[in-house]
């Protein structure tokens, strides 16, 4: 499924600056929405599912289902939460 995702969408590795849009990490099923170019979290590969940073999770799930032949719903995904770095 990861190969199909890579062929269907632009993919970015973690810690790489990515353009505005909605991104999926299929391994963790986390959606990250960037309103400005930013570095993606260190969680593996991120696929740019939609160029809009405000797309609903339900619409993102439909886009993924159409591309991969899956049956995800919005409940299968969670939004990425920014967590500040811990200080020693």
DSSP letters for the chain = -HHHHHHHSEEEETT-EE-SEEEEETTTTEEEEESSSEEPPSSSEEEEEES-TT--HHHHHHHHHHHH-----GGG-EE----PPP--
Residue 40 near residue 15 (C-beta atoms within 8 A): yes
Stated pTM of the model: 0.84
Q: Calculate mean pLDDT across residues 14-18.
A: 87
pLDDT tens-digit series, residues 29-86: 999 999 999 998 887 889 999 999 999 999 999 999 999 899 999 999 998 876 443 3
Q: Calculate mean pLDDT across residues 4-31.
A: 88
pLDDT attached to residue 86: 36
> How would residue 87 be classed by pLDDT, with cut points 50, 70 and 90?
very low
């Amino acid at each position: 499924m990861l190969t199909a995702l890579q062929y269907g969408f632009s993919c970015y590795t973690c810690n790489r600056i990515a353009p505005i849009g909605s991104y999926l990490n299929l391994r963790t099923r986390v959606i990250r929405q960037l309103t400005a170019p930013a570095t993606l979290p260190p969680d593996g590969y991120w696929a740019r599912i939609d160029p809009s940073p405000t797309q609903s999770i339900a619409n993102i799930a439909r886009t993924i289902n159409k591309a991969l032949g899956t049956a995800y719903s919005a409940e299968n995904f969670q939004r990425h939460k920014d967590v500040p770095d811990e200080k020693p």
